[in-house]
A and B are shown apart, each in its own frame.
Chain A
Amino acid sequence: MNQIAIEATGLVKTFGNIRALDGLSFNVAKGEIFGLIGPNGAGKTTTLRILATLIKPSSGSAKVFGLDVEKDASEVRRIISYLPEEAGAYRNLSGREYLEFMANFYSLNNHDSHVAVEDAAEISGLGERLKDRVKTYSKGMGRRLLLARALMMKPRLAILDEPTSGLDVVHAYHVRRIIQDYVKTYGVTVLLSSHNMLEVELLCSRVALINEGRVIGEGTPQELKSFHRASNLEEVFMEATKLG
């Protein structure tokens, strides 16, 4: 069994003459909640998209449980799930229809598919509202539906881009608890990105600080705080960017 969930080595990604990633490397162990933090345009989303097989690195390599994201893209897609920062669900389907549609991609038998959808229904906490069309949902309800979709198949790796983006305190709290419970119960590995330093400190076992397409610091939140003699990750980040 491969104990390394993610192995990103020297990732470079250019868009025209913009260098979004500039030799980015990090490893994530199985069962970790690993956080990527950094300012807008640092390269967090680009990194997640490469790992989710949406785009290809210009150079460098990335492996998910030993599978190359470029060469073995279709195998990688079977073991991961990706929640984009700005994601939506099909407006004209009901919440439950959406979950069923997504579950059916995994060639499951009826029973397994039903179990996955029931799990998702519970994670989402939407109850009876799952019968309603997605277009009637609030932003928070939509995000919970999407997170439930991302976790229901118990992927070996869940890639969550800003999982609580745009949510109010109550919804964000609920979402964070779901992620923690899921990792504990099913041993899912989570890679997430966030602007919210408090969230990262609460959730993540380890974090990587990213700036201008490179990792400028890596460790547990505690390690980073003591290294930079900071009282929280926000201060760590400000210190680290000064050094970088």
Chain B
Amino acid sequence: MANGLNNLIKKEVKELLRDPKIMLSMVLMPLLIFPLMGSAMNISTTAVEESARQVTVSLLDMDHGVMAQSLSAAFRVMNVTLVETQATTVDEALDELQNTNMTTLVVIPSGFSQNLTLGLKGSLKVYSVYKSLSIAEQAKTSVVDVPISVFESALVRQAITQAFPGRDPSTVLNPISVSSFSVVKGNVINISPSVLSSLFISQSIGFPMVIMMLLISAMQVAATTISIEKEEKTLETLLTMPISRLGILTGKLVGSVVVAAAGAAASMVGVNYYTSSIFSMLPTETVNLEALGLSMSPLSYGLLGVVMFVTIVSALALAIVVAAFSENVRSAQSIVGFMNIIFVIPSIVLMYADIEILPAPLQMVLYAIPYTHAILAAKAAFMGDYLVMARSIAYISVFTVVLLYVAAKIFTTEKIVTARISFRKRETKAQSK
């Protein structure tokens, strides 16, 4: 028996790993996709910043006054290169702008300096040329806002100093000072909540995505191992070998688990890289994230590994039960594909909302789906909430045991063979009559 089981597991793993589709979806994809996602986010953020930094702005100065010169100085101080155009009208300047790689034209109309000196409103015109609709373009066009507001606040400060000699202008401008703190797990952190919430958003989208993709591919693997035996007509021979039916089921399951475990390991590595890329966007030099408990502890990683494992086994058992009833790989895969909805729904709902804030009936439905617990456990791992993780492991394990019992029932009766026979007999009888 032990011999036969070993034999079967070895063959399953060998066969699965020789299937390029499975290798690609289970191991290579998570290993590549998540680090790529992380670096892509990093690279594009950096690129946006870089391109904004190198921006050159065209200037049409029709004022030539003192204030116009001060404004130009403010631009240079803020590292924005100004290119003064030779054009004499706005239309000419805009035509010229179209032929360059500059995207912004600042026009200082005549009377600008005079108005400001007289205490009237000075007017400025900023033209932004849109060449594409990306975030980078947006960043380029908004680059003139900073020097203008710097110049403006200098004017304001000057006016305040003139009106209230001896007073700190900031007490007039911002009479109230607000300091923001975040409280995480009882620790007060000197980070604004807006920074933290953007971090949490990336976490709560990232984990459900990983779990969903992993389960979907694991189920495809398991469904394939059973249904390919039916499709390639190897199952009947296997069932007449001197190995118990439960041995065959165990072999199939363990074989798929080995391959899925490789997939889980690959995605843990991938996720680890992904989260570290996300973390690197935070101002780490000012905040020690590990001291705050915002990075995963080894226990969290361990428990998350267990959650992933039981979740995968349960998905595999589910796929095997389904595949036992289907006649070929395609039908097994499409039924399993349809069942993906039980991963997709909790994943999507929990991406946008915490389970506690949902209406009670929806909460109950979600809690009944075992895969909800996998996602909750992943969130809990991040917060170090071990109790939630233990509860998830327990619930998913119970569900898995029930599924395995059903799978064993199917395997030990003739159902695994007959679904097809009875169908075929009916056909031949009908033909002969």
Give A residues with C-beta under 8 Å from B: 15-16, 18, 20, 39-41, 46, 49, 52-56, 74, 77-78, 80-84, 86-93, 97, 101-102, 104-107, 146, 149
Contacts and interface: CB of A to CB of B under 8 A. Distances in A.
Given A16-B422, A40-B432, A86 B244 contact: no
B122 to A, nearest CB: 77
A83 B239 CA distance: 11
B3 to A, nearest CB: 5
Nearest to A101: B11
A87 B237 contact: yes
A84 B232 CA distance: 12
A88 B237 CA distance: 9
Given A40-B428, A102-B241, A87 B234 contact: yes
B24 to A, nearest CB: 15
B429 interface: yes
A89 B422 contact: no
B240 interface: yes
Contacts of A106: 242
A54 B3 contact: no
A91 B14 CA distance: 12
Interface in B390-433: 414, 417-418, 421-422, 425-426, 428-429, 431-432
A107 B3 contact: yes
B315 to A, nearest CB: 23
A17 B236 CA distance: 24
Top 9 closest pairs, chain A to chain B, by CB:
A15-B422, A41-B428, A88-B232, A104-B7, A92-B18, A82-B240, A88-B233, A55-B414, A105-B241
Nearest to A106: B242
B234 A90 contact: yes
Nearest to B234: A88
24 contacts: A15-B422, A16-B426, A18-B425, A18-B429, A39-B432, A41-B425, A41-B432, A46-B425, A49-B417, A55-B414, A55-B418, A80-B240, A84-B233, A84-B236, A87-B234, A88-B232, A88-B233, A88-B234, A92-B15, A93-B14, A93-B15, A97-B11, A104-B3, A149-B237
Contact of A89 (B234, B239, B428): B234
A196 to B, nearest CB: 18
The B interface, classified by DSSP as helix, strand, loop or mixed, is helix
Contacts of B243: 105
Contacts of B385: none
Given A18-B429, A92-B19, A104-B3, A54 B240 contact: yes
A192 to B, nearest CB: 15
B26 to A, nearest CB: 15
Contacts of A53: 239-240
B4 interface: yes
A77 B161 CA distance: 101
Contacts of A15: 418, 421-422, 425-426
A164 B15 CA distance: 28
Nearest to A149: B237
B204 to A, nearest CB: 40
B339 to A, nearest CB: 26
A86 B233 contact: yes
B240 to A, nearest CB: 4
Nearest to A75: B242
A55 B421 contact: yes
Given A46-B421, A49-B417, A106-B242, 20 more contacts: A15-B418, A15-B425, A16-B422, A20-B425, A39-B432, A41-B428, A46-B425, A54-B417, A55-B418, A82-B237, A84-B236, A87-B234, A87-B236, A89-B232, A90-B15, A93-B14, A97-B11, A105-B243, A107-B4, A149-B237
Interface string B1-20: 00110010001001100110
A93 B414 contact: no
A196 B421 CA distance: 22
B421 to A, nearest CB: 7
B9 to A, nearest CB: 11
A57 B316 CA distance: 32
Contacts of B232: 88-91
Contacts of A80: 240
Contacts of A52: 236, 240
Contacts of B425: 15, 18, 20, 41, 46
Nearest to B231: A88
A86 to B, nearest CB: 5
Contacts of A92: 14-15, 18-19
A183 B241 CA distance: 21
A81 B240 contact: yes
A39 B432 CA distance: 10
Contacts of A105: 3-4, 7, 241-243
A82 B243 CA distance: 14
Contact of A77 (B7, B242, B426, B431): B242
A212 to B, nearest CB: 9
A78 B15 CA distance: 25
A104 B18 CA distance: 21
Contacts of A56: 414
Contacts of A91: 232
A89 B243 CA distance: 18
Contacts of A41: 425, 428-429, 431-432
